[in-house]
Structure 1
Amino acid sequence: MKETRTIYLLFLSTGTLLSKAIDLYTKTNLNHVSIAFDKELSEVYSFGRKRPYNPFIGGFVKEAVTEPFFNKSMCAVYELKISNEQYLTLRQHLQMIESMQHLYHYNFIGLFGFFINYEVKRPHAYFCSQFVATMLQEIDLYPKDIRAGLTRPDDLRQWDKLELVYMGALQEYLQLPDKRRNFRLPIRSFFRMS
């Protein structure tokens, strides 16, 4: 049997004006997604704000979810089992992007294209769900026939390979003892499940 590793997809709603606007447009919540390599969420990667309180400066980010910007965030944490080979390849991809992050930008044009159902691919530019879908496609996990530039965070949440670990306030999750993070936690009723 092949050795498997676990990664996590973190879905967030930060409650910012931009976040609320996207929620309204998509009729869903938790419209930001990141890849995490540990259940403690100490190593989290995405495309988003480079400066937490400025939505117009974006790109590749290693997110520090313990920063005050995330204090009121709601979240869902899903685990995803992948092969050891996929895990190592994913890490290599992310290390390469991180080492050249000055070349990478937030795909604002692609985000606007998404809103009119037109995929805009730009070199070295992603929005969060486009980035996560692309990374998972590059390790032959997420279906390649799905257009990453038209993938919503909610599309990823609906993916049958993900297993929900937690849904609720991010700060509550971060304060859980390690042992409790090993168990499935009750789903909070204030989230709409789509």
Structure 2
Amino acid sequence: MKSVYLLLSNTGTITNQAIKAFTAAPYNHASLSLDKNMKRLYSFGRRRPTNPFWGGFVQEDLVQGTFSWYPYATCAVYELKMTRRKYQKLERLLKAFAKNYKTYFYNYLGLLGVPTNQPIHVKSSYFCSQFVAEVLKRAGCNLFHKTSALVTPDDFRGHEELQLIYEGTLYEYPHLYSRPFYHPKKYRSFPFRKYMKQQVRSEVLGIQEENGELYQFRDGFIKPKKILISRKWYRIRKFLKL
């Protein structure tokens, strides 16, 4: 037997909050991972963190992708057991999606059909939970009696074939492959001295840190870094009365 993992998440974005207000569900995004550490994580969502309207098939990256913009996202992780043959078929399906990712788009119209119980199918288009349910169905794991176009992230919660293995803050998930990262709210200012020392050791001397905290910016933390610097400079200017 092999295992795959379903990640249900809530990033706290405006879009997510709007959906949550309508559905009253704690999680409104679904992703499918082929491994427990979330390295091979797939879904339909934003292609770029800054553009919520350009969506499609994505291999999600928890370190440098859209999730990295929301370090306090919450999640629930479920394990689904399947035969090795079904797992291999699922792998082939996901490889086909990845190979032709440019031909797939986010099914925004399909979202409108869910509350009215009227499935809206758009060619080569899926929304997140529709995609997860559909690829599992094609692999031989049909979890629902209804069409995939009506499956919501909340439908996966409490399903008898899914075992909950974790629920809480996403970046505290114990099996996550990434190491600790800097969070803007965690420090008053970024530890630049430690960061530069780390960079000299790794980039110049070729010494890789094995223990201790790794100081690194995620994609979405560039802007918070600038805000922190500007505020610090403002306090200095005010003190010097410049």
Asked whether the two chains share a fold, i.e. TM above 0.5, the reply is yes
Q: For the residues of structure 2 that align with 1:20 and 1:5, how far apart are their CA atoms? A: 34
Q: Which residue of 2 aligns with 1:139?
A: 139
Return the offset for 1:80: 0.7
TM-score (norm 1): 0.85
The alignment's TM-score, normalised by the length of structure 2, stands at: 0.69
Aligned to 2:97: 97
**Cα separation, partners in 2 of 1:146 and 1:122, compared to 1, 3 Å:** same
- After TM superposition, the structure 1 = structure 2 runs for residues 9-20 of structure 1, keeping only pairs within 5 Å, are 9-20=6-17
Q: Distance in 2 between matches of 1:73 and 1:47?
A: 18
Letter in 2 for 1:54: N
Taking structure 1 as reference, are residues 65 and 138 closer, same or farther at Cα in structure 2, changes over 3 Å only? same
Contact 2:36 2:175 in 1 (8 A): no
Higher relative contact order (CA 8 A, sep 6+): 1
Which stretches in structure 2 are left out of the alignment for 5+ residues?
A: 179-242
Query: Quick one: which of 18, 40, 44 aligns to 2:41?
Result: 44
Instruction: Tell me the matched-pair count.
Output: 175
Residues 77 and 144 of structure 1: CA distance in aligned 2, closer, same or farther (over 3 Å)? closer
Match of 2:4 among 2, 7, 14: 7
Asked which structure has the greater CA Rg, the reply is 2
Contact 2:111 2:127 in 1 (8 A): yes
Equivalent residue letter for 1:123: K
On the 8 A contact 2:10/2:29 being kept in 1, the answer is: yes
Correspondences of 1:138-157 after superposition (within 5 Å):
138-143=138-143, 145-157=145-157
Q: Is the 8 A contact 1:72 1:171 kept in 2?
A: yes
Percent sequence identity over aligned pairs: 39
SS at match of 1:159: coil
CA 1:87 to 1:70, structure 2 compared with 1: closer, same or farther past 3 Å? farther
Deviation at residue 146 of structure 1 after TM alignment: 1.5
Structure 1 unmatched runs, 5+: 179-194
Deviations 1:111-135 (A, max 9, x none): 1222332101112100000001101
Structure-2 residue corresponding to 1:27: 24
Structure 2 counterpart of 1:120, which letter?
I
Name the counterpart of 2:121: 121
In terms of fraction of residues, the more strand-rich structure is 1
- Which residue number corresponds to residue 78 of structure 2? 78
Tell me, what secondary structure is at the counterpart of 1:39? coil
Asked if 2 retains the 8 angstrom alpha-carbon contact of 1:53 and 1:69, the reply is no
